[in-house]
Amino acid sequence: MPSRYRQIDHDPGLLASLGGKTVIVTGGAAGIGAATVKLCNSNGANVVMADLEHTRYATKAVVADLPHPDKALFVPADILDWRQMRGVFEKTVERFGRVDVVVANAGTMESAMVLDLDDTEADGSPKEPREAYKVIDVNLKGTLNSKSSSRVNVQSNSHHELTRKLRQNTALKLAMHYMNKTATPATPGSIILIASTSGYFGSTGVSAYIASKHGVVGLLRAAQVEARKRGNIRVNGVAPAFTPTAITAEYSQRWKETGLESNTVEDVAGVVAQTAVDARLKGACVLVAGKYRREMEQTRAAFAKDWIGEDLAGVLSSGAKFFEAIGGYPLPKRVDLGPIQHM
């Protein structure tokens, strides 16, 4: 295997450093989120579960199963609501004194193919892909709207799984804000964004999900500018391949019967926790597919010249150095476009 590939070996010894840290997990009531809560708590961490009010009983069951239930806190929050999410961080600091790790958990998908040209209105015109809008709102941009009071409910029968993704932008910005108050270069804050193999590949054609997951990877990359500036915050990602959860229920059994590589939620939680405390990882994203745990971002950078050619790689590198030399990317002046006109 070329040395430019990087396998991340399982190192349970790293998890001991979770002891005494405070970890917020959004969507901590079930699946990967709950498994991460359990693993962190079993290694001595204070754990805070942020999830919707209707998950209270589920979180009680999670807490009851923890080895240190006195070090656990559930804060009900609709993470489409900026104030409620800010309250999660405020209550965490009030209870435990600081925020060390934030895991922005993920998971929603459309229930119909967005680009299905046979999905039409009665008159034969194409249907507006409203569900796709909602998927992208929930997965990526919805939580950025600090004044949003809308409630996303793509499909009621999978509402909990859908709302577990409510998080990337809000969790990231709030995490960086609160960590910046207490983190130091010696004890940096750590943020994990849960991406997906769909954040790197798109062969399934699940358009809204793939687009939103690519957005999460883009957010991971963009966050490195501020993280480097602060010097006391690490932002990394984890990209799970097939993992049995609510959104994979339609094909989970068939996948397992083929013998294809698959994860358990505990597998992914282990990678999340290890990535959170591995100080060597900055701007990394670990793709986990069963026994394979590959770092994606450094590999992408290492292969850039082979991918696009040394000449073009040089052009793009020069552009990056230009923006660095002038102090960053100059943003355009804001233009008030007025209210959006609906046709």
The Cα 324–Cα 250 span in angstroms is 47
297 and 312 in contact (C-beta within 8 Å)? no
Q: Check residues 3 and 263 and name the one with the higher pLDDT.
A: 263
Query: Is residue 235 over pLDDT 80?
Result: yes
Residue 135: what pLDDT?
73
Select from 226, 297, 302 the least CA-distant residue to 8: 297
25 and 12 in contact (C-beta within 8 Å)? no
Query: Is residue 145 over pLDDT 50?
Result: no
Give the CA count within 13 Å in the CB-facing half-sphere of 225.
10
* 206-226: average pLDDT: 90
Q: Could you give phi then psi for residue 86, rounded to 5 degrees?
A: -60, -35
pLDDT per residue as tens digits for the range 71-122 = 999 999 877 678 888 999 999 999 999 999 999 885 677 778 888 888 889 9
Residue 168: what pLDDT?
54
Query: Is residue 238 over pLDDT 60?
Result: yes
299 and 306 in contact (C-beta within 8 Å)? no
Measured CA distances, 323 to 267, 317, 319 (Å): 40, 10, 7
Query: Is residue 164 over pLDDT 70?
Result: no
pLDDT above 90 covers what percent of the chain? Answer: 55
- Using left for φ > 0, alpha for ψ between -120 and 50, and beta otherwise, residue 107 falls in left
Coil, strand, or helix at residue 119?
Answer: coil
Residue 3: what pLDDT?
63
The structural domains of the chain, ordered by start, are 12-304 (3.40.50.720)
* 191-211: average pLDDT: 90
User: What's the pLDDT band for 160 if we cut at 50, 70, 90?
Assistant: very low
Residue 251: what pLDDT?
85
Strands 72-76 and 46-51: parallel
Query: Is residue 166 over pLDDT 90?
Result: no
Query: Is residue 52 over pLDDT 60?
Result: yes
Of 164-178, 199-213, 252-266, where does mean pLDDT reach its minimum?
A: 164-178
Query: Is residue 142 over pLDDT 50?
Result: no
- The partner residues of 238 in beta bridges, in order of sequence, read 194, 286
Residue 140: what pLDDT?
72
The Cα 225–Cα 328 span in angstroms is 9
The Cα 25–Cα 103 span in angstroms is 5
Q: Could you give phi then psi for residue 131, rounded to 5 degrees?
A: -60, -40
The Cα 343–Cα 323 span in angstroms is 39
Residue 338: what pLDDT?
62
